[in-house]
Homo-oligomer: A and B are copies of this chain.
Amino acid sequence: MSDGKLQVAIETLKKSGIRITPQRHAVLEYLLTSMSHPTADEIYKALEGKFPNMSVATVYNNLRILREIGLVRELTYGDDSSRFDSNMRDHYHIICDDCGKIVDFHYPTLDEIESLAEKVSGFEISHHRMELYGKCEECSNVSVQ
């Protein structure tokens, strides 16, 4: 992650007339520099040191704003918390059933599936999502021991 992405993101915020508050900047920067896909609570805890008075609602508010403006994607899986992803390129996710780790998986978009789905269902398909589940290398090694 280069600072360039952060600058571009800040420009997007400015163009939308959204203020760059310190808290908002920190949330955005954390998402852009994080290689993981953090939950709202993880972001909250990570920024606790810098902003001891920040409310958890502020994190949620800013995540919602960043999502609405298209800078962040919300990943909603099962029962757990939502996770947030600042990688806005089309991609899929591979998730470890054991430890919950999520890694990005780039693959050509499955356009032909969307076309077929439109034909058989009568829907106008706008997008799709896919997750692959399994066991990551670390967890595979642990279970072998």
Contacts and interface: CB of A to CB of B under 8 A. Distances in A.
B105 A120 contact: yes
Given A76-B78, A76-B79, A82-B79, A125 B133 contact: yes
Copy count, this protein chain: 2
A79 to B, nearest CB: 6
Interface residues of A, number: 38
Given A76-B79, A79-B82, A105-B121, A97 B116 contact: no
A132 B136 contact: no
A94 B78 contact: no
A131 B134 contact: no
Contacts of A20: none
A113 interface: yes
Nearest to A143: B124
Contact of A123 (B94, B118, B123): B94
A105 B131 CA distance: 16
13 contacts: A76-B77, A76-B79, A94-B123, A97-B126, A110-B110, A113-B130, A122-B136, A123-B136, A124-B135, A124-B140, A125-B134, A128-B130, A128-B133
Interface of A: 74, 76-79, 82, 92, 94, 96-97, 103, 105, 107, 110, 113-114, 116-118, 120-137, 140
